[in-house]
Structure 1
Amino acid sequence: MHDLIRDLRDQNVLLIHPRDRSADELLQQVNRIGCGFDHMWPVPQNLPDKFDMVLVDVTDQSPTKLKGFLEKRDKPVTIIAIIGYENPSVLNVLLEIGAHAVLMKPVRAAGVLSSMLMARRYQSEQARFAKDMAKLREKLDNVQKVNDAKFILMRHRGIAEREAYDIIRKQAMTKRTTTTEIAQSIINAESILSNLGDI
């Protein structure tokens, strides 16, 4: 069995929807799946940290209010939007809040599990891509720092690029730190010296 299917039962689900037949159908199905769940209406000010997934009725809701409510925490949340009809304003809300899946009203039991599963997969992939992108940005930033430090050494000492890099690398080994930290120290020193020249 796929990990996402097995882990779905560990999800804490919050349903934000008027208490009607659709809400009852959804709560019964979430209960059958085995998830922890709760129900709130209207849209609360804050999203409690214990919830991993939110099923929210976006009908006649302000995208700004929904977005603010969903973004007021560090931990990412899986969002399933519930809509009663399709028009440009409703579709805009879906895009604004970054919904991972959509359920149409009237809600039926069939389709809830697959929507939850696909939403979890989409959200997990988004989180993984964001993490990979952050690592790549950090790596590029570190490469840029080392390049900046090399050029500072080349300018001040009149040496070649390879020699400048060797100095940075040897300093890193001697001080048991990274070439990035040595590079940052060189950049900081250059900045201080430049500022002293203005005094």
Structure 2
Amino acid sequence: MASPGLGDVGGKKTPLFTPQEIDQIAKFLVGNQRRERENIIIPRSFTPTVIKSNEEKTIEAVLESCPFKSVLSLCAGFVLGGGIGLFAASVTPTIPTHDKPQQSAREVLRELKVSTLSYGKNFAAIGFMFAGVECIIESYRGKTDWKNGTYAGGITGGILGLRAGVKAGVAGAFGFAVFSFAIDYWMRH
């Protein structure tokens, strides 16, 4: 049996490659052939992995940024609050009295508009503040877990409650933190 790398020339074993040639082959196969790789993927499962382009990565970065999340929560909060305000105003009874007779359609619509805008602005402010604070906390901690929402709820509730005083700020912080924890727990389990 012939050993690898040796040739048989006239009954005499001679190397097929010189040590310099073996070094060149090794450098070619293993050596420093650097090229920039922007998408190195280590598969973690047997499902196919999709390589993302730079444009897709840029769009993902924008969609996951704190300003985008905050503005999206602002818009969603305004729409949700407006819907709740519309519902609340439509079920609020208006009882005619002697000094205030039956409301006209114009007065009812004006009341609906005021209630809808009021609820919408309040929900928008809360959504904007909560999403922004939560994103900043998540970016700072580098983790996505239940603590981010709880901390953000405490900070948001505390800031909103401080308008009514320190005691209300503490109560708001505690209430928002507990509510945020409960919602986060329910969503994850």
Normalising by structure 2, report the TM-score. Answer: 0.25
More helix by share: 2
Normalising by structure 1, report the TM-score. Answer: 0.24
Please identify the structure whose Cα radius of gyration is greater: 2
